[in-house]
């Protein structure tokens, strides 16, 4: 990570402390692995701070990322049992959102994605969590299921001190413009280039 | 992550299963945040597979990454207590390696880095872990404290099924050439560009 002095000091009237504690909108995009894993790595730091964390997986199939899900939920259990770290919630679209009554096969993916976003909007208004991971959220934006304008307006006007991390390829320009921190994961080399397939513990 | 069919199928005589289960040498490099966090995110998957994990932090100061350290060690404790997931070890150079008798201030950083690498070499030979995270390991390579040739030879000839993830800026070319998967974390936008400083839960 970039260390040391900031390159410029803005004339925004904020103290360093206020600027330091600014809630961040973070985007992990690009074609390569690492977008979601880096978001879940950030969740480890957040957990250690005792922050309430919620992950929202915007994927059609819920079979992926069970490793991260189990591990982060285990950390949430450690919190519930010992008070160490923060509480963790994990919600996924693929099998019906955990808070929703509609479980099982979700026929209308677009509506399911919108339902997820509406819940996130409610939680942001209530300041329910300190870190939100909106995993693969760029896809419902790209497919027009949720409008980017609405998302940007909601996120940039969110109250309190809530960090939001959005992952996925092809982050829309308006989202990048609104974000505080944007990382692109770029491929230099991938095993699939030479015919390898995904494997447990690495891809899931 | 890239999904679907591999782009080519090599004539290497291996079955898909053998190719799938190839132990990987992974490098996370580039100027931007996400190199280490993505490595620790991978550790969540590895933990869920029950793999023995070891992190080696090649940094002079041990003050950073305490969030990830506490969280991954909490997962290790969950393993020790319940059998869920895998065991986790975390070793750091800054305060003297955990296995070493020399604790406290480490005056000779180059020698400390070499000591860390020698221990990793021993553990690789013994097949002690399934996932090794060599965090910020590119720096002792860049500074000539450890020779790249030796590292590449040791890593490419490691026995059994051991995955190794190396993080840090400026990964040497020979290391990139030897790796199976290389991701570059590229900056699109960073809060420090506009005068912000690092903050808890995000940078540590």
**What average pLDDT is seen over chain A?**
87
Q: What is the CATH number of the domain that holds B164?
A: 3.40.50.300
A32 touches chain B (CB under 8 A): yes
Residue B196 falls inside a structural domain: no
Whether residue B84 is predicted with pLDDT greater than 50 in this model: the reply is: yes
Whole-model pTM over 0.80: yes
Return the pLDDT at B136.
95
Residue A165 falls inside a structural domain: yes
Of B1, B183, B200, Cβ closest to residue A203: B1
What is the rounded CA–CA span in Å between residue A88 and residue A6?
A: 32
**What average pLDDT is seen over chain B?**
87
Whether residue B138 is predicted with pLDDT greater than 70 in this model: the reply is: yes
3-class secondary-structure state, position B113: helix
The residues, ordered by sequence, that sit 6+ positions from B194 with a Cβ below 8 Å of its Cβ are A6, A8, A10
Query: Are the beta carbons of A29 and A183 closer than 8 angstroms?
Result: yes
Q: How many residues appear in chain A? A: 204
Q: What digits encode the pLDDT tens for the residues A90-138?
A: 999 877 788 876 655 546 889 999 999 999 999 999 999 999 999 999 9
Residue B41 falls inside a structural domain: yes
User: Looking at residues A48-74, what average pLDDT do you find?
Assistant: 89
A27 neighbourhood in chain B, CB within 8 Å: 188
A18 neighbourhood in chain B, CB within 8 Å: none
What are B149's two structure tokens?
């040739």
Residue A97 domain boundaries:
42-187
What is the rounded CA–CA span in Å between residue A118 and residue B107?
A: 55
Indicate whether this complex's ipTM tops 0.85.
Answer: no
Burial group, residue A178, by CB count within 10 angstroms (0-12, 13-18, 19+): middle
Question: Are A74 and B70 an interchain contact pair (Cβ–Cβ within 8 Å)?
Answer: no
Residue B89 falls inside a structural domain: yes
Burial group, residue A50, by CB count within 10 angstroms (0-12, 13-18, 19+): middle
Beta-strand relationship, A53-57 and A88-92? parallel
Residue A88 falls inside a structural domain: yes
Q: What digits encode the pLDDT tens for the residues B88-136?
A: 999 998 777 888 766 555 468 899 999 999 999 999 999 999 999 999 9
Q: Which residues pair with B160 in a beta bridge?
A: none
Whether residue A2 is predicted with pLDDT greater than 50 in this model: the reply is: no
Q: What digits encode the pLDDT tens for the residues B163-173?
A: 999 999 999 99
User: Looking at residues B26-33, what average pLDDT do you find?
Assistant: 92
Return the pLDDT at A203.
78
What is the rounded CA–CA span in Å between residue A88 and residue A128?
A: 12
What is the rounded CA–CA span in Å between residue A57 and residue A93?
A: 6
Return the pLDDT at B145.
94
Distances (CA, A) of B200 to A66, B65, B66, B173: 27, 10, 10, 34
Return the pLDDT at B146.
96
Residue A29 falls inside a structural domain: no
Mutation target among A52, A195, A198, A200 for the B interface, most CBs of B within 10 A: A195
What are B60's two structure tokens?
């002079």
Question: Are A202 and B42 an interchain contact pair (Cβ–Cβ within 8 Å)?
Answer: yes
Query: Are the beta carbons of A28 and A181 closer than 8 angstroms?
Result: no
Total of domains in chain A: 1
Residue A27 falls inside a structural domain: no
Residue B194 falls inside a structural domain: no
């Amino acid at each position: 990570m970039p260390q040391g002095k900031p390159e410029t000091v803005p004339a925004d009237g904020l103290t360093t402390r206020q600027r330091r504690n600014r809630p961040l909108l973070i985007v992990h995009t690009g074609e390569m692995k690492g977008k979601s894993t880096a978001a879940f790595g950030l969740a480890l730091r957040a957990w250690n701070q005792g922050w309430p964390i919620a992950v929202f997986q915007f994927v059609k199939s819920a079979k992926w990322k069970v490793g991260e899900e189990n591990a982060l939920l285990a950390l949430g259990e450690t919190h519930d049992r010992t008070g160490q770290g923060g509480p963790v919630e994990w919600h996924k679209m693929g099998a019906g959102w955990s808070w929703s009554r509609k479980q099982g096969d979700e026929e209308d993916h677009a509506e399911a994605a919108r339902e997820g976003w509406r819940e996130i909007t409610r939680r942001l208004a209530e300041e329910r969590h300190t870190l939100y991971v909106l995993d693969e959220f760029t896809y419902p934006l790209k497919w027009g299921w949720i409008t980017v304008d609405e998302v940007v307006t909601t996120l940039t006007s969110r109250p309190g001190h809530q960090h939001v991390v959005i992952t996925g390829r092809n982050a829309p320009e308006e989202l990048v413009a609104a974000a505080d921190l944007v990382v692109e994961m770029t491929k230099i080399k991938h095993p699939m280039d030479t015919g390898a397939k995904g494997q447990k513990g690495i891809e899931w």
